[in-house]
Structure 1
Amino acid sequence: MTNQIYPCLWFDGQAKAAADFYCSVFKNSKVTTDTPMVVNFELNGKKFMGLNGGPMFKFNEAVSMVVECETQEEIDNYWNKLTADGGQESQCGWLKDKFGFSWQIIPNIIGKLMTDTEKAPRVMQEIMKMKKIDIAKLVNA
């Protein structure tokens, strides 16, 4: 396939540890190449590159991965795994994993809830109160 596009994540010597961690979190995932400088891996069949680039650059919230979930159990699972061992909860379904990378763990019905003009303001008000998203509270808003 030509012109394939995929993200390259810059790590300070932790690319292999990060790839192994992410592959343990997501099904259908594997490390495909492991060299001292670059680790290629797939998460849910999507290609990623981890680069051992050094301490010059750090992750920030300007880039995040969005994980759409169908159930509260899925949200809880990803939230718990990605915040484990030093990860940090943030607001509105956002978190940082132990490597400092940002994730949004959201229900796939959020778009539908936000397009209901009567319900959307109440849904948004609920989201603003949350760290981890609670689907039932959004549906009942």
Structure 2
Amino acid sequence: MAQKVTPYLWFQGDLQDALDLYTSVFDDAEVLSTTERDGGLFAATFRMGGIQLTGFNAPGGPRFTDAMSLFVDCADQAEVDHYWDALLAGGGTPTQCGWLVDRFGVSWQVVPRRLMELLEDPDPERAQRATAEMLTQVKLDVARLEAAADGTLG
């Protein structure tokens, strides 16, 4: 079945560079189709992380904001480190609580699955301690989040 809703990203003339980055970062990423106009890349449909997206290439349009982000579900700290470092490469900006902005202005949340488990812990005090620790971090650190939840963070 075709995907019903497709994120549509407006790039400022650097769509090809974004495609190059995203296809190098995500193992399953692929460019599905491209449209050329006036001798350059105008649009592309691509897949990464199991979803299809469309990129549009038109300088001078609206910029990305944190009001829309792409969430990367990471199995462990190694995945967090991989995606974090790769998406920051070439001029991205780390922000807070696992958020970053890549060099094209796209906001990402790079989140270990373990954080979501800790935030949903049936013990509200464990969940609160994990939340408090998350709020102090930039790139999320699974070991520190677990230690905070356990009340053993020194």
TM-score tier (shorter): over 0.9
**Structure 2: any 5+ residue segments left out of the alignment?**
36-40, 149-154
Cα displacement (A) at 1:3: 6.4
2:32–2:44 CA contact under 8 A, matched in 1? yes
Partner AA of 2:105 in structure 1: G
Note if 1:82 corresponds to 2:87.
yes
1:13 Cα deviation from its structure 2 partner:
1.3
TM-score (norm 2): 0.86
- By how many angstroms is 1:64 displaced? 0.2
Q: Give the partner amino acid of 1:13.
A: G
CA distance in 1, matches of 2:137, 2:46: 32
Q: Which amino acid aligns with 1:102?
A: S
1:6 paired with 2:6, answer yes
Q: Secondary structure at the match of 1:131?
A: coil
Q: For 1:133, what is the secondary structure of its paired residue?
A: coil
* Corresponding letter in the other structure for 1:9: L
* Aligned position for 2:97: 92
The match for 2:38 is: none
- 1:91 is paired with a residue whose SS is coil
Partner of 2:143: 136
Indicate the SS of the match to 1:41: strand
- Percent identity among equivalent residues? 39
Higher mean C-alpha displacement, 76-85 vs 119-128: 119-128
Give the equivalent residue in structure 1 for 2:134: 127
User: Where do 5+ consecutive residues of structure 1 fail to align?
Assistant: none
Structure 2 counterpart SS, 1:92? coil
Q: Secondary structure at the match of 1:118?
A: helix
Paired amino acid for 2:97: C
**Structure 2: distance between partners of 1:44 and 1:126:** 28
Q: 1:49 aligns with which of 51, 54, 73?
A: 54
Alpha-carbon shift at residue 118 of structure 1 (Å): 1.6
SS in 1 for 2:118: helix
Tell me the C-alpha RMSD between the 2 structures. 1.3
| Count of equivalent residues | 141
> What are the superposed Cα offsets for residues 59-86 of structure 1, whole Å, 9 maximum, x if unpaired?
0100000001111111000000001110
Report 1:110-121 matches (<5 A).
Answer: 110-116=115-121, 117-121=124-128
Larger radius of gyration: 2
TM-score, reference length from structure 1: 0.94
Q: Which residue of 2 aligns with 1:70?
A: 75
